[in-house]
Structure 1
Amino acid sequence: MIKYCKLLVVAFLVVSCNYDNKKTNIADYSLNKENTSSDPQLKASIERGKLVYEDLCITCHMGNGEGAPKVFPPLAQSDYLKENQEASIKGIKEGMSGEIVVNGITYNSVMAPLGLSDEEVADVMNYINNSWGNSYGKFITTEDVTKVIKN
């Protein structure tokens, strides 16, 4: 009888621990609230950018922004994104090809142009600049994108 009670207690603990893990292991890919709460325009842009990202970008760069190792570069904690905002804007608007180095890893993939408007590019940039621990750059406007594309 004591053996069965111990087994029951162990089974209960395993189930309880497993249940807690399921609750806490769900990744939270939400926006960095501290970056969005002070500026309603930025917050709205980020929300729109998230929709575009989830529609077009998530397949390669994943829901957590970590990309696919040595195939599609990460956007989360990306030194390339942080240091190359204009090139990133152009890449989203016009596509990219050729080698780039992101966080010390060389990528040589092709990103096709996505057919996004300047506003959609600005919104996606604001989303990725303020997600997954990123806090890069400033609020990017449609006018900023237009200016970068013209140059």
Structure 2
Amino acid sequence: MKKYVLAIAMIALVLQGFNTLSKDRNDGYITKKESKKGVYSSADKGKSVYNQTCVACHQATGLGIPGAFPPLAKSDFLNKDVNRAIRGVVKGLSGAITVNGKKFNGAMPAQALSDEQIADALTYVYASWGNNKTVVTTAMVKAQRK
């Protein structure tokens, strides 16, 4: 029995290595190396991070969950202050906020993501759902970690 568990664990680790591939728009695959060469934009990479980290609360549409999680779509809160948005992801956010005229009083924990992942995810959010197309860089994220 222990051999089977060990074999399954080994297979899982090997398969996890295949996680270095990301799906492109044409349902083909590119490697992370190709992605870093600029084959895909930060927003394209950010969509993957968003779908793994943010979608449960803010939803695939960016509309959030009314009364619980604020919308990111056409978000006056995000579009007004990019550094505040970055800090919210890096350090977490709690307390009352108003987004698009509606009050939210919850908590978002700090996200355990790299500077690049945060920059990519926020660039995707800003490029989506009627937001202002701000490009978030790793330098901007690093500045908010201080």
Normalized against structure 1, the TM-score is what? 0.68
Please identify which structure carries the higher strand content: 2
Q: Within 5 Å, which residues of 2 pair with 1:1-150? A: 44-137=41-134, 139-150=135-146
Number of aligned residue pairs: 111
Based on CA coordinates, which of the two structures has the bigger radius of gyration? 1
How far does the alpha carbon of each residue in 1:105-148 deviate from its partner, in whole angstroms, 9 at most, with x for none?
Answer: 110111111201111111011000001122243x2210111112
How far does the alpha carbon of each residue in 1:19-40 deviate from its partner, in whole angstroms, 9 at most, with x for none?
Answer: xxxxxxxxxxx9xxxxxxxxx9
Q: Is the 2:94–2:108 contact (alpha carbons within 8 Å) kept by the matching residues of 1? A: yes
Structure 1 residue 149 displacement after superposition:
2.3
Normalized against structure 2, the TM-score is what? 0.70
Secondary structure of the residue that 1:109 maps to in structure 2? strand
Unaligned runs of 5+ residues in structure 1 are: 1-29, 31-39
Question: Which aligned segments of 4 or more residues in structure 1 are displaced greater than 2 angstroms?
Answer: none
Percentage of matched positions with identical amino acids: 41
Larger relative contact order, structure 1 or 2 (CA cutoff 8 Å, min sep 6): 1
- 1-structure distance, mates of 2:95, 2:60: 24
What root-mean-square deviation, in Å, do the aligned CA atoms of Structure 1 and Structure 2 show?
Answer: 2.0
- 2-structure distance, mates of 1:99, 1:93: 18
Unaligned runs of 5+ residues in structure 2 are: 1-24, 26-36
- 1-structure distance, mates of 2:90, 2:144: 10
Q: Is the 2:62–2:71 contact (alpha carbons within 8 Å) kept by the matching residues of 1? A: yes
